[in-house]
Amino acid sequence: MPKVVTRFAPSPTGNLNVGGIRAGIFAYLFARHNGGKFIVRIEDTDKERSKKEFEDNIFESLAWLGIDIDATYRQSKHAARYEELLRKLIAEDKIYVAKEEPKEPDGRSEVIRFRNPNKIISFFDAVHGQIEFDTTELKDFIIAKSFTEPLFHFAVVVDDWDEGVTHVVRGEDHISNTPRQILIQEALGVPRPKYAHLPLIVSSDRSKLSKRKGAVAITEYKKLGYVPEAILNYDSFLGWHPAGEKEIYSKEELITEFTLDRVQKSPAMFDETKLLWFNHEHLKKLSDSEYAARLKEFAQKDVDPRLVPLLKEHAKTLKEAAKALEDEFDFLGGIAYKPEFLLQGGKITAEVASNHLKTLSEILQNIPDEGFTPAQLKDILWPYATDQGRGEVLWPLRVALSGREKSPDPFTLCSILGKAETLERIAQALQKL
């Protein structure tokens, strides 16, 4: 068998989104699984809508996801090749210049049409099986506006041939395009690639996910604090699933497992809640040092390593973690608050708060340093708090340790601060009272 070559062929007419990248991910995984080549072809022949900023966004998104590219092509650079082959087909009487009635004043009066042999086309699709199509209904379809302006069907066939593409992996909305392209392949005498048409991606209301409806740009997810491992993993599961129940996969594991025979036919539903779950799971898999390094980009400051395990457990995105760091976890460098805050706005008297803090300090004094874990501290302090009134006991303790209305629970705070700092902060609170 020839070496597998797949391609991803986005148009630079908008930012690359989670729906648009799925075909590229599948093509990439299939190529890498088979030790093949993965190319990216920018289909930029729509001069009015194609923009450099969108092309840059495509490559930025692919790089962020860790999708390495073996070769890059740009359709707009192939004009001479298209013209060469169009003139060859004209000479062979397989296409012809057709006079058209202009639809608008000063409209086009000539186009180039394919001379349809009106035959049955049959091809095997790796997802949908054998497909048969009567091309008679296509009539003599247009393949170019002029010798220098080929349409999609012709340009795609020429590019796939010239670039050695062996497998075309794309959305099922392209199934209807395949018969036209096979007819053009036969007219040019070029080999037919193998096809795999992927199921549609739909939103929660079952409508097709698209640039205009529901599909969020990859770079937007990056800004929201999602990690590339999660986007790659989740998008891989939109229409494909490996054997077994495991869901969290690294890129290397996906490459090992990916085969086209496990691509489903039915539409794949895009679920933001599920994507968020994937993101949280991948965040939790990061080492503490890697997590802190990535979070630093959002927090714009170094992250105390003592906070990382807690942030990993509770924050589902890096942006959420950065906000928690600002709103709830900014207490390690020292705190400042009014004594009244310890009294919960007058709900607790100074005498009651002082008595409880003194008792808690005595209890904590007798706990060994190795016992300063959230679970052990809760086991020891919870009975006293339950007996005396949890609000009156735990509110002053939490404020004494954090100085904030919102913060982790007091048992976690004690564990993070350590025994010495915990006792020092309780002593400072007692002085305020």
Q: Which residues are annotated as a binding site for ATP?
A: 211
d(CA 177, CA 163): 20
Nearest to 157 by CA among 35, 75, 57: 75
Could you identify the residue written with the tokens 């009014």?
Answer: 338
| Beta-carbon contacts of residue 426 (< 8 Å; ≥ 6 apart) | 357, 360, 361, 364, 397, 400, 401
Evaluate whether 405 touches 338 at the Cβ level (below 8 Å).
no
CA dihedral 353, 357, 358, 362 (to 10 degrees): 160
d(CA 308, CA 14): 37
Residue 319, CA distances (Å) to 222, 223, 350 in order: 10, 8, 38
Pick out the residues of the known binding site.
Answer: 211
Q: Hey, what amino acid is at 111?
A: V
Q: Hey, what amino acid is at 300?
A: Q
Q: DSSP of 82-132, one letter per residue?
A: HHHHHHHHHHTTSEEEEE---SSTT---EEEEE-----EEEEEETTTEEEE
How many Cβ atoms are within 10 Å of 209's Cβ, its own excluded?
Answer: 24
d(CA 76, CA 425): 68
Evaluate whether 422 touches 374 at the Cβ level (below 8 Å).
no
How many angstroms separate the first and last alpha carbons of the chain?
82
d(CA 325, CA 344): 23
For 88, the token pair is 């060859």
d(CA 88, CA 338): 86
